[in-house]
Amino acid sequence: MSLTVKNISVTYNPINQSNIFTSGDFISGQVILDVAKDTQMQSLSVKIKGKAKVCWSEHYGKTTVVYSDKEKYYSVESFFVREDKNNGNEMLKDPSGQPYSSVVAPGRHVYPFTFQLPQQHFPPTFKSSVGKVIYTLEAKLSRSMRVSSKDKAEFHYVPRPDVSNPELMAPQYGTKDKQMKILNPGSVSMNINTEKMGYYLGEGLKVLAEVQNNSSRAIKPKYCLYEKYSFLAKGKRKVHTHDLLKEEGEPIEPHSKKTVTKVLSIPPSLTISILNCKVLKVEYRLKVYLDVPYASDPEIKFPVVILPPQPVSDATNSDFGIWNQPPGSNMYPNPPPMAPLAPPHNVVGPPGQFGAPGYNGPPLSQFPAPGYPGPPGQFASPSYTGPPGQFGPSVSHQSDPSAPPPYQEYQLYPQLPDHPKKS
């Protein structure tokens, strides 16, 4: 950062206690610029973007091969200041409806913005040592003959649950027979069914097993839920598997038949299934098997889809599809009400600049006081848990789980179109 530009930062305002955004939500925030002296800007912008990336290396003797790929979901940039005002999207305006000046005086300057997330189902935020799905806000200041100044803030995104696929709520069935010899002569068979394929975090997974033990020894049914992470690049696939929970049932005596029911609790901390990304997948599977002495264990596997939680915010615009237009434009007819931004302290700027002397936006009496009881779901309402009268900090959620054998893939979301390979 140069001596002239002391700091540039971008933050967003949480809309719920869990600080999670979902499809169609509005995300509001501010770009804050601190300068030490009069500064001429070529452009000042904020961008919202979402993408998935994978990268890993493999060694073949003395040769190291790097595999990498990425998938872009969206990238929308809005400008507060730009030299060529006739090129691109409509320029953002200050809260009083006036254009921003390209010259700023010494002090702190605040530039508010609002985006609406698209209604499509994109993969949720995800991070591992090999791949990630990230959603970010990026601020960029460009000046003549200077290196651009930038800042970035990640936000946590989870899509709305989509249970329109009938496979998700349909029962699953499987059967397995095994003939044994020598040390444990006889046969065993099992019929397994589950109520459905799709489950919410923390929900119980009910397994019904009908076991026929015609062998000479007692056998025991066992259950395993495991996860499988797949990363894909350049025709290569890297797979991680990890057992999440293992449980067993009561022994079934020789020459007997028994029907047993087992309910497995799905851990609430799991990453939801990612099945609609071209470069990585997060999948889960239930394995039910019989522990047979002196023989290989017969087993049945079922796919399990972990669904997103129910929406925590409904702050959406009924005019779907218009999500990338700047507030104040004709294409953005009904932006949600925002709690006014508290003016920064000791701000010096030209008349009319937001937060500066001469600013003609909302009177100070309208700024949220401690305990401001705004409308439900609105920032600074009772659901907000930060310090009284303050906006929440920029927050990014990170998970670094480990990861699972190939099985049938289920297309639960619409196929996404190809996107240009650029950041």
Burial 26-64 (b: 16+ CB within 10 A, else e): bbbbbbbbbbeeebebbbbbbbbbbbbbbbeeeeeeeee
Q: What is the mean pLDDT of the chain?
A: 77
User: Which of 159-173, 306-320, 355-369 shows the lowest per-residue confidence on average (mean pLDDT)?
Assistant: 355-369
Sort 212 into a burial class: Cβ within 10 Å, 0-12 / 13-18 / 19+: middle
Q: Residue 233 pLDDT > 90, yes or no?
A: yes
Q: Which residue has the higher pLDDT, 394 or 30?
A: 30
pLDDT at 83: 83
Strands, sheet with 5-12, edge to edge from the N-terminal-most edge strand: 5-12, 26-35, 107-116
User: Whole-angstrom Cα distance, residue 126 to residue 274?
Assistant: 9
Whether residue 379 has pLDDT greater than 80: no
Contact (Cβ atoms closer than 8 angstroms) between residue 31 and residue 10: yes
Rounded Cα gap, residues 271 and 283, in angstroms: 9
**What would the pLDDT profile of 267-297 be if each residue is shown by its tens digit?**
888 999 999 999 999 999 999 999 888 778 8
175-189, 201-215, 225-239, 341-355: range with highest mean pLDDT: 225-239
**pLDDT class of 130 with cuts at 50, 70, 90:** very high
Q: Which residue, chain included where needed, has tokens 């939500």?
A: 25
The better pLDDT of the pair 25, 181 is held by 25
Average pLDDT over residues 110-125: 94
Q: Is the pLDDT of residue 415 over 90?
A: no
Most confident of 162-171, 210-219, 360-369: 210-219
- 115/139 Cα distance (integer angstroms): 14
CB 289 within 8 A of CB 298: yes
The one-letter code for the residue type at 347 is V
What pLDDT does residue 410 have?
A: 32
More confident residue, 296 or 221: 221
CA–CA distance, 138 with 142 (Å, rounded to integer): 13
pTM, full prediction: 0.70
State the Cα–Cα distance between residues 352 and 355, nearest whole angstrom.
8
pLDDT at residue 35 is higher than 70: yes
Rounded Cα–Cα distance for residues 223 and 264 (Å): 9
